[in-house]
């Protein structure tokens, strides 16, 4: 049985502020750390030895080449090398490839082995500053049952480093942006954003700077919600943007908390996420989100905010 079998539905987990992680290792070394990724960004794990690797001339050093899987050409990224871990030829021969889906972009990550799938509450995910020093490679961590540290990586940063064309073009303006009538509340107000990825934070800052609008970013949903409920008048907030995957409090819980409170229920909420599956979009809508955009199209978030605000007038 595959380690990815028996994965619960994402919507059921979201209602309980929970997530499921695929835990894996990138080295057989006894001191090797455990790493994890949300299972809903994964497709399957395949043995490296069973797939011929076609190299790409002049490619990024971390882009090993491509494999063909079920008719798809899938780029393979050297995750151990990104983490400054060297594999021997013997290690590579025994390694596996974790097939992932980011915003519909299918890639393969070289790993050593998939360990198991675990379920966690988002409040068990932590992001101490000490893990953010090395260019934001590690976003947060949790603990396994045996006490071992399990690190969650900023996979969006990896994609941005190796396949930048797959990420949002922050300078690409929507065709209607210049003709867009910006509401006074948005022009003079501050959009609040919950986002734990430093890469995504940078993109959003550039997008708002480009549109000459103000925003404030919080590293997780709990910080954002606490800030809002500490305000004398939350109704001045023109809009909230939230990721789904965040430590302490998920984006789904952010939506629930704001929409159930009479003081904040009319604040437009836009979900900006790399988890773009139908279930996630439907769940966000059911909970009361006013819009959903995938992170590769974040340059379109301003028109989406304006549209959402028009429905709350």
Rounded CA-CA distance 52/31 in Å is 30
pLDDT of the residue at 248 = 86
pLDDT at residue number 1: 46
Which pLDDT belongs to residue 75? 95
Residue ranges per structural domain of the chain: 10-165, 184-310
Q: Is 104 exposed, middle or buried (0-12, 13-18, 19+ CB in 10 A)?
A: exposed
Which pLDDT score, from 0 to 100, does residue 168 have? 63
Q: Which helix (H) or strand (E) holds 218?
A: strand 214-218
Please state which architecture CATH assigns to domain 10-165.
Beta Barrel (2.40)
Whole-angstrom Cα distance, residue 274 to residue 271? 10
Any idea what DSSP says for residue 112? S
Question: Looking at the chain, how many residues does it have?
Answer: 313
Cα 182 to Cα 13: distance, rounded to the nearest angstrom = 37
Helix axis angle, 278-287 relative to 251-259, nearest 10°? 20
Residue with tokens 């409040």: 123
Query: In this predicted structure, what is the pLDDT of residue 174?
Result: 58
The Cβ of residue 176 has, within 10 Å, a number of other Cβ atoms equal to 11
CATH annotation of 184-310: 3.40.50.2300
Domains 10-165 and 184-310 share a fold: no
Query: Whole-model pTM?
Result: 0.80
pLDDT by residue for the chain (313 residues), tens only, comes to: 466 665 665 556 666 788 899 999 998 876 778 999 988 889 999 999 999 999 988 889 999 999 999 899 999 999 999 998 989 999 999 999 999 988 778 999 999 999 899 999 888 888 765 554 456 688 888 999 988 999 998 888 888 888 887 766 655 655 556 678 899 999 999 999 999 888 889 889 999 998 899 999 999 999 999 999 999 999 999 999 999 888 889 899 999 999 999 999 999 999 998 776 677 788 888 899 999 988 877 888 999 999 999 987 6
Q: For residue 177, what pLDDT is reported?
A: 64
Give the strands of the sheet with 105-111, arranged side by side. Answer: 42-47, 96-102, 105-111, 72-77, 63-69
Reading the block at residue 23, the tokens are 């835990």
Rounded Cα distance, 213 and 43, in Å: 38
Give dist(CA 25, CA 20) in Å, integer. 17
Element (H, E) at 99: strand 96-102
pLDDT of residue 194: 96
């Amino acid at each position: 049985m595959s380690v990815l079998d028996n994965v619960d539905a994402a919507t059921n987990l979201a209602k309980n502020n929970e997530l499921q992680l695929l835990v894996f290792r990138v080295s057989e070394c006894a001191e090797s750390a455990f790493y994890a990724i949300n299972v809903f960004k994964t497709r399957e794990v395949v043995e490296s030895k069973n797939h011929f690797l076609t190299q790409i001339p002049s490619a990024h050093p971390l882009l090993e080449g491509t494999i063909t899987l079920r008719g798809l050409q899938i780029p393979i990224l050297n995750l151990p090398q990104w983490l400054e871990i060297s594999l021997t030829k013997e290690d590579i021969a025994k390694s596996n490839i974790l097939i992932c889906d980011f915003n519909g972009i299918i890639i393969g990550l070289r790993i050593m082995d998939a360990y198991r799938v675990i379920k966690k509450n988002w409040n068990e995910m932590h992001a101490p500053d000490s893990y953010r020093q090395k260019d934001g490679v590690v976003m947060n961590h949790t603990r396994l049952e045996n006490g071992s540290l399990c690190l969650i990586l900023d996979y969006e940063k990896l994609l941005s480093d190796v396949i930048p064309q797959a990420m949002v073009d922050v300078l690409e303006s929507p065709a209607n942006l210049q003709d867009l009538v910006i509401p006074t509340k948005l022009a003079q107000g501050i959009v609040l954003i919950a986002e734990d990825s430093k890469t995504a934070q940078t993109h959003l800052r550039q997008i708002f700077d480009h549109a000459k609008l103000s925003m404030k970013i919080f590293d997780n949903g709990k910080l954002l919600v606490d800030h809002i409920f500490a305000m004398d008048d939350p109704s001045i907030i023109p809009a909230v943007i939230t990721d789904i995957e965040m430590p302490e409090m998920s984006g789904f819980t952010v939506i629930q908390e704001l929409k159930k409170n009479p003081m904040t229920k009319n604040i437009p909420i836009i979900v900006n996420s790399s988890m773009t599956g139908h279930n996630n979009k439907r769940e966000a809508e059911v909970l009361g989100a006013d819009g959903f955009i995938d992170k590769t199209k974040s340059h379109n978030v301003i028109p989406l905010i304006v549209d959402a605000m028009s429905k709350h007038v």
